[in-house]
Structure 1
Amino acid sequence: MDYTLGTAFVRPFSLAAFTGLLLTLSFPSVGHPLFAWVALVPLLTAVCSATSINAFWLGLVAGVIHFSGTIYWIPTVMVDFGGLPVAAAWFVHLVFVIFLGLFIAGFAISIAVLVKQFGRVGLMFAPAVWVTMELGRIYLFTGFPWLLLGYSQVPFLVIAQAASIVGVLGISILVVAVNATVSYSWVGRGNVRSLPAMVTGSVFVLVVAFGVWRLERSVLLNKGTSLTVAAVQGNVSQDDKWNRTRRDTILTTYLKQTRDAAAAGAELIVWPEAATQFPLAHDERSEMIRSTARATNTHLLIGTTEIQTDEQTRYYNAAHMVGPSGATTGVYRKQHLVPFGEYVPLQDALFFVSPLVEAVGSFSAGRSAQVLPFQDDWVSTAICYEIIYPGLVRELVLAGADLLTTITNDAWFGLTAAPHQHFQMARMRAIEQGRYLVRSANTGISGIVDPYGRIISRSALFEEAVLVSEVRLLTDVTFYGRIGDVPAYLGLLVTVLALGWRRR
């Protein structure tokens, strides 16, 4: 089918654009998770009668609109905090959005090929193909798995409980399966159209039944050892964060919040990412923090910078566990660095972003999933957007983590949807791993989440806050914790076999 001006051109691209819009509306803070269940229907409808090349362009249109609508805040960050000219920031953003859009383009062209090979029943390969593309988003070029489709369902906790078995990618598979079933029921032919609806409907009912059962039992709330934790939120603006004239005020704020949290009974107090303006291990001001830990008899998990000097000087975004003795008992170094935030990829090719290179500097990546000691137990932390990597958090749990924490500085994002998106993705990790999650964010959203994704307490954006709550240190490993993303890799295998199939 070759598109020419007129209906044959406008209709399919309108459908693709509508999919991009619906995908955007599936995520916070402007939409609703219900949109995700039908978001791909317009694109699939258009693709099933398109040539491969036209399917590619349809998918790219959907992808560009989707990612333009969900990560629209990136250019502002690069301009305001990276010193990049407006035109250069928007150009880099456009390149990045097109790159992400290629994954949806790959999905669309694959479906077009499968429909050609298998007829319109080829639409039912959509869940396998989609999750293959999401695996690509996780792992290719260090990955950027921001807002995988399964994350849209976190507000529907009954649905999200299935992540304890199949992970966020498994939730993506379910959502796309419903989309594919609706599409096939619309465009398919013959009595066989009812079979996918019966299978998908049965799976959906089982998922809901499991979710209701798991939430009603909530057995993890009575297991393990009780612990009172606190997340402190200093609400330090990005303009003030590295202002030398503000460093004493910032430190005083966190020390006061720590004493307040300890007075409320907190035994573990979590500070945000990069809470100190100085490297904790190399500055005399760290004694003020250590003496506070001794005076309050608490463990402090501190986001800080670490400097390592051997053959060359390396800088790490790190978290230190400071024990009641005042000594550092463990260090975690961030493994997944933020592109254009902590390093600039392809610096030689992107020569025009030199102001951003100077503003960002260059951090080194940590190399191990290090858990931090807490009495006789272990605590993990994920720094900033590391929390959106399901495999990394699973690795920390398998290393022994009984409690999940995540520390971040979302001040960059301002009052955009990004902090809400980030918090929603963090909640998914609690469900997947069956662990309590403590999140400390410089300007919010901080929160404490139970192993079922329910919010125990949370802060608002851009306010000082001290959240104190009881959690439990848990050792049970979920089914997802044991098998990881096996369902997603099965989807990859199905996709490869289906695309390689040749009818005799």
Structure 2
Amino acid sequence: MKFVFRLAWILLPVSALTLGLKSPFESVQWVSLFIYVPFALALKRAGAWTGLLAGLLYGGLAWASGLWWLLTSMDTLMGMDAWQRIPMATTLWLYQSLPFAVLGLVCGWMNRRGRSAGPLFCASLLTLLVYLRPVFCPVSSVVSVALWTPFIQIADLGGEYLVFFLLLLINWLFADLVTSWGREWKKVGYQSVCAVVLIGGMLVYGYWRIPQYDEHGVLSASRTMSIASLQPNVPVGWGNEGAPIEEFASDEELCLRTLNANEDIVHGADLLVFPELPKFNCLESEFRASGLQVMLGRLGISTMIPSDEFIYATETSSPMVLGEMRSITIKSIRTKYNSLFFHPYGENCTLAYRKLKLVPFSEATPLRDTFPWLKKVIGRKLEVSKGEGVKLIHSHGLNIQPLICFESGFANLVRKGVDQGADLFVEVSNDGWFGSRDAEMKHLGMGIFRAVETRRPLVRCSNSGAGAHVWASGEIVPGTLTPHGRASLTRAKLYCPEVTTLYAKLGDGWLWGAGLIVVWGLGSSFFRERKKD
């Protein structure tokens, strides 16, 4: 048995890096059922500090790719110096590993009191710790199963965290099977039955639910919308000093070229969606001069276009000019928003939505309202302001909830939209700076969970890759997953079910039950030690 625990420590960094670098698992989704087992085994005989170390190691390495992308964004998007981005990224990296570290500390504490933490306790505690931690970057490790469509259907009952809880429970049951094998056959039989029932129950539920929301619904229902999604593949660092010189001079021209090359796909669509682009602004003269607005008018199609929005302040001064006092009006930017505009049938654009969830450091300094000094130390001169609230766009008899970039990672934001009447989601994103298909797929995985939780279809329109049309079943419409690093245009007709899921109504209320399990487990360990004394 000592060999098993030593092997667990050897495999612990391997499994953590696999989880961080290769999820969501595409062709081997079942690997997720065992990916946490080395971590669970390492905690079996750990003390408090050893458990803390195991948690920091596993949680940190599971977010290793996130650290790299964070450093890249701080350099590419924010222009930060190394002395700023390295300590900030490392701090956030350690913060992301805290739930695993606390679980390791608690399991070690319980081991020293003669009551090892069981699978139900560990799954409950880690799920609660991830849920209660303030979210800066919403990518959860449960994204590893985002492409295992039958397995995640249960999210319409309890959301992403219910899938995470059950995934952890299965992993910890398998870890117990390893330690009980050959010694406690009765316990092995009980754990095997529990694992089989859990996996089998989730898959049976999934295969029952999927046909209700996939292409069969499109063929039989009238609540549909045909949406085209444009991916122009604008280069990373476009317009920045040192960026490679490309054939086209602007984002608008790249979009126009992609649209011209795929005009036949757009014809007949109800809506055309543009991605979030670094230098694209539909309110500026470049947009009109590029000919893009003319082409959209000729196509006669409604369009959603994200753009920066600036609110200007004007000041009047009276300087002395050539011996005369002259009045001069000075125009300066007062407020900046990351906004989305709606162009009905090629007409002038109207403001539709201002982004609510701002990217830490890139758009806004975290906790800037609570600690204003943080903005002076690490903030940017002009940061993005938060929008007023959830807004819906009404088009072709349906209500669309727009999501900008990583807003697809916030289930509560989507639930608010559904409560207001959202029938489908459109996410626009700029993932070009990632430079990685794996990162783009993680981002897509977040959106897939939102679709399943609320049974609303999703269109994800990306700058560089992993754009997709997703049915309310969580399945990607065949032929719509866009390639990394290549311009493309996709289109699909999506069915919008008129249903309200249990999760949309109740949210994460089931976590109170997980809290009771944690309190019971901690109380049992505490009073066991007191009796022993």
What TM-score do you get using the length of structure 1 for normalisation? 0.86
Distance 1:168 1:250 in 2: 35
The amino acid across from 1:143 in the alignment is F
Contact 2:303 2:342 in 1 (8 A): yes
Instruction: Give the superposition deviation at 1:353.
Output: 5.5
Kindly report which structure 2 residues correspond to 1:248-287, keeping only aligned pairs within 5 A, or say none. 249-255=250-256, 257-258=258-259, 260=263, 263-274=266-277, 277-278=280-281, 280-281=282-283, 285=287
Equivalent position of 1:3 in the other structure: none
Contact 1:220 1:451 in 2 (8 A): no
Instruction: Give the superposition deviation at 1:422.
Output: 1.3
Residue aligned with 1:239, SS: coil
Answer 1 or 2: which has greater helix percent. Answer: 1
Residue aligned with 1:317, SS: strand
Contact 1:167 1:432 in 2 (8 A): yes
The amino acid across from 1:149 in the alignment is S
208 and 389 in structure 1: CA distance in 2 versus 1, 3 angstrom threshold: same
Distance 1:111 1:483 in 2: 31
8 and 229 in structure 1: CA distance in 2 versus 1, 3 angstrom threshold: closer
Q: Deviations over 1:195-233 (max 9, x none)?
A: 344334312211111111122444643334232210001
Instruction: Give the superposition deviation at 1:180.
Output: 1.4
Q: Does 1:302 align with 2:305?
A: yes
One of 385, 408, 415 as aligned partner of 1:387: 408
Residue aligned with 2:499, SS: coil
The amino acid across from 1:173 in the alignment is F
Q: Does 1:17 align with 2:13?
A: yes
Kindly report which structure 2 residues correspond to 1:117-266, keeping only aligned pairs within 5 A, or say none. 119-120=115-116, 122-137=118-133, 140=134, 142-146=135-139, 148-187=140-179, 191-192=186-187, 194-218=189-213, 220-221=217-218, 222-240=220-238, 249-255=250-256, 257-258=258-259, 260=263, 263-266=266-269
Distance 1:170 1:230 in 2: 33
Which one has the largest radius of gyration? 2
Distance 2:407 2:127 in 1: 20
118 and 490 in structure 1: CA distance in 2 versus 1, 3 angstrom threshold: farther
Contact 1:71 1:418 in 2 (8 A): no
Distance 2:22 2:296 in 1: 43
What TM-score do you get using the length of structure 2 for normalisation? 0.81
Residue aligned with 2:464, SS: coil
Contact 2:160 2:453 in 1 (8 A): yes
Distance 1:187 1:92 in 2: 40
Residue aligned with 2:151, SS: helix
Equivalent position of 1:465 in the other structure: 488
Q: Does 1:442 align with 2:437?
A: no
The amino acid across from 2:255 in the alignment is Y
Kindly report which structure 2 residues correspond to 1:280-429, keeping only aligned pairs within 5 A, or say none. 280-281=282-283, 285=287, 291-309=294-312, 313-324=334-345, 326-345=347-366, 348=373, 357=380, 361-415=382-436, 417-429=438-450
Instruction: Give the superposition deviation at 1:144.
Output: 2.0
Contact 1:226 1:472 in 2 (8 A): yes
The amino acid across from 2:253 in the alignment is T
Distance 1:467 1:126 in 2: 43
274 and 483 in structure 1: CA distance in 2 versus 1, 3 angstrom threshold: same
Instruction: Give the superposition deviation at 1:344.
Output: 3.3
The amino acid across from 1:119 in the alignment is R
The amino acid across from 2:363 in the alignment is E
Distance 2:388 2:347 in 1: 26
Residue aligned with 2:495, SS: strand
Residue aligned with 1:72, SS: helix
Distance 1:498 1:82 in 2: 45
22 and 257 in structure 1: CA distance in 2 versus 1, 3 angstrom threshold: closer
Instruction: Give the superposition deviation at 1:150.
Output: 2.3
Kindly report which structure 2 residues correspond to 1:50-89, keeping only aligned pairs within 5 A, or say none. 50-86=46-82, 88-89=84-85
131 and 48 in structure 1: CA distance in 2 versus 1, 3 angstrom threshold: same
Q: Deviations over 1:235-288 (max 9, x none)?
A: 11133257999996432343455572675311200001147633x456584596
Distance 2:401 2:344 in 1: 15
% of aligned pairs identical? 21
Equivalent position of 1:107 in the other structure: 103
Contact 1:110 1:129 in 2 (8 A): no
25 and 415 in structure 1: CA distance in 2 versus 1, 3 angstrom threshold: closer
Residue aligned with 1:380, SS: strand
Residue aligned with 1:368, SS: coil
493 and 300 in structure 1: CA distance in 2 versus 1, 3 angstrom threshold: farther
Equivalent position of 2:499 in the other structure: 476
Contact 1:131 1:169 in 2 (8 A): yes
8 and 182 in structure 1: CA distance in 2 versus 1, 3 angstrom threshold: closer
Residue aligned with 1:379, SS: strand
Instruction: Give the superposition deviation at 1:186.
Output: 3.2
Equivalent position of 2:522 in the other structure: 499
5+ residue gaps, structure 2: 315-332
Distance 2:121 2:463 in 1: 43
Instruction: Give the superposition deviation at 1:489.
Output: 4.3
60 and 298 in structure 1: CA distance in 2 versus 1, 3 angstrom threshold: same
Distance 1:109 1:266 in 2: 55
Residue aligned with 2:253, SS: helix
Contact 1:335 1:366 in 2 (8 A): yes
Distance 1:7 1:263 in 2: 61
The amino acid across from 2:334 in the alignment is T
The amino acid across from 1:266 in the alignment is A
Contact 1:449 1:455 in 2 (8 A): yes
Residue aligned with 2:31, SS: helix
Q: How many residues align?
A: 490
Contact 2:303 2:346 in 1 (8 A): no
Residue aligned with 2:345, SS: coil
Contact 2:451 2:458 in 1 (8 A): yes
> Larger deviation: 301-310 or 13-22?
13-22
Contact 2:24 2:143 in 1 (8 A): no
Contact 1:406 1:440 in 2 (8 A): yes
Distance 1:267 1:76 in 2: 37
Residue aligned with 2:340, SS: strand
Distance 1:134 1:176 in 2: 12
Residue aligned with 1:73, SS: helix
Residue aligned with 1:119, SS: coil
208 and 269 in structure 1: CA distance in 2 versus 1, 3 angstrom threshold: same
